[in-house]
Amino acid sequence: MINLEIPKKFKPLANQANQVATEVFRPISRKYDEAEHSYPKELDMLASLIDGMNEGSDIGGAGAAGVRREKSDDGANRNGSNLSTVLGIIELCWGDVGLLLSMPRQGLGNSAIASVATEEQLKKYGGKWAAMAITEPEAGSDSAAIRATAELDGDEYVLNGEKIFVTSGDRADLIVVWASLDRSKGRAAIKSFIVERDNPGLKLDRLEHKLGIRASDTANFTLQDCRVPKEALLGDPEVKEKGFAGVMETFDNTRPLVAAMAVGVTRAALEETRKQLKKAGVEIDYDVPANNQHAAAARFLEMEADYEAAWLLTLQAAWMADNSKPNSLQASMAKAKAGRTGVEVTLGCVELCGSIGYGENELLEKWARDSKILDIFEGTQQIQLLIIARQLLKKTSAELR
C-alpha cells in the first residue's frame, strides 16, 4: 500500500534539489527569462554534479533524467527512480521550470529512451541530452495523427516530415522523433527513432519566442531524407495491432514528471503569496472555517487544497510506476489535475497579491506565465480528460472522441 509521506531515503535528495533551486535557479531566474534563447552557462557545472549523483546512486539524482520501470518479484513495496525523480523535479521547479528544462542530459527525451530502449541503446546513448519531437503542425494533441514517415531502406530508416515545439531541440545531442512506418496502418505503425542533432537531414527552421519557460529553447525542425541506422528505432520494429500502446507507455512515465513540474511552480506561488498576505495583515487560520476568515485567506485555503490534491496524485502515479503497476489512468489524472491547478493557482496568487503579483520585482507573474505550458505539453488538459473518460467508461478511442 502506498504511504503518502516522503520516504526517508529520499529526503536528502529532496533537500539537495531544494538547495540547487535556492542557490542556483532563483538568483538567475529573471536574468534568463529576459535573455530568451541565451544558454544558461551556470547549469554546466550543475549538470555534471547531477550526473555524478545519478552514477553514485541506485535511486537517481535530483534532475529530470530518464526513469525506467523495474520489476520486482518479491512483492515488496518499492520506492525507486520514478518517485525520486518526481521529488527532485518538484524542488527544482520550485526554483525555475525553464532552467530545469535547460539542464543538459535532463530532457523528456531521456525519459522516453529510458522507458523503452534496449540495453544496447542505453549504453550507446547514455550520457547524452535527448529532446522529444512529437508535435506537428497538423498533429498536436492527437499523437496518433502523426504524418512524419519512416521508410526502411536497407540498413537505414529514412525519415521525412515536420516537427514543431521541440523543447531543448536546438541544444540537445539527440532528438527522439515519432514517425509512422506505414500511415495506412494507423497508430499501430507509429514508432520513435533516435536522431543525432548533427544529422544533415535534420534541419532547424526556427526557435520560438514564448510566453513562459523562456530560458528553455523551443525548436521547429524539418526532416528531409533524414537517414538513421535500423538500431535507432526504439522498441519493437514490428507493426502490431497493439503496437501504439507500447509507444504511449512513454507518457505513463513522463506525464508524472510534467505534473511534478506544475506542483513545484504551484508551491512556489503559494509560499510567496502566504508571505505577502502576512505582510498585509491577513492571517490564515487552519482551525477556523474558511467562510469565517478574510476573503483572501479563504481563497488561499481553496488553492492550497487543490495543490495538495495534485501533489498526492503525482506521487501516486510515480509510486505505481516504481511498483510495476499499470498507471496510465493515474498518470493522466496527475497531469490533468496538476496542470490545471498550476495555471489556476499561479494566476490566483497574482490576483491576491495585486500590484506586487503583477510587477517584475517578484517572480509571481513569471510563474503564472511559466505554468501555462505545463497544462499543454505532454498532452493537453482536454486530451488528459478524454483519456481518463475512456478508461473509466471502458470506451475505445473510436467510441469516445
Domains observed in the chain:
8-125 (1.10.540.10), 130-234 (2.40.110.10), 243-393 (1.20.140.10)
Closest listed residue to residue 169, CA positions, set 121, 135, 125, 118: 135
The region, left, alpha or beta by phi > 0 then psi within -120 to 50, assigned to residue 117 is beta
Pairing of strands 174-180, 130-133: parallel
Task: Say which amino acid occupies 9.
Answer: K
Q: Which of 171, 192, 168 is nearest to 181 (CA)?
A: 192
Q: DSSP characters for 280-322?
A: TT----TTS-GGGS-HHHHHHHHHHHHHHHHHHHHHHHHHHHH
Rounded to an integer, what distance in angstroms lies between the CA atom of residue 203 and that of residue 223? 6
Q: Is 124 exposed, middle or buried (0-12, 13-18, 19+ CB in 10 A)?
A: middle
Predicted local confidence at residue 60, as pLDDT: 46
The model's pLDDT over 94-151, given as tens digits with 9 standing for 90+, comes to 999 999 999 988 777 888 888 788 889 988 998 899 999 999 998 877 777 899 999 9
Closest CA to 164 of 184, 141, 136: 136
| Alpha helix (H) residue ranges in 323-376 | 328-353, 355-358, 364-374
What pLDDT digit, counting tens, does each position of 277-312 carry? 999 999 999 999 999 999 999 999 999 999 999 999
What pLDDT is stored for residue 130 in this prediction?
Answer: 94
Predicted confidence at residue 39, as pLDDT, reads 95
Q: Collect the ranges in the chain with pLDDT lower than 70.
A: 1-4, 51-75, 241-247
**Phi, psi of 178, deg, nearest 5:** -90, 130
Q: What does the alpha-carbon distance between residue 176 and residue 195 come to, in Å, rounded to a whole number?
A: 6
**pLDDT in the model for residue 202:** 98
Answer whether 346's CB lies under 8 Å from 265's CB: yes
pLDDT at 59: 45
At residue 349, the pLDDT reads 98
Q: Residue 285: its pLDDT value, please?
A: 96
Q: Which pLDDT does position 70 carry in this prediction?
A: 58
What is the spatial distance between Cα 307 and Cα 182, in angstroms, rounded to a whole number? Answer: 43
User: Residues near 222 by Cβ (< 8 Å), separated by ≥ 6?
Assistant: 161, 162, 163, 203, 205
pTM of the model: 0.92
- Number of other residues whose CB lies within 10 A of the CB of residue 81: 25
Q: Do 181 and 240 touch, CB atoms closer than 8 A?
A: no
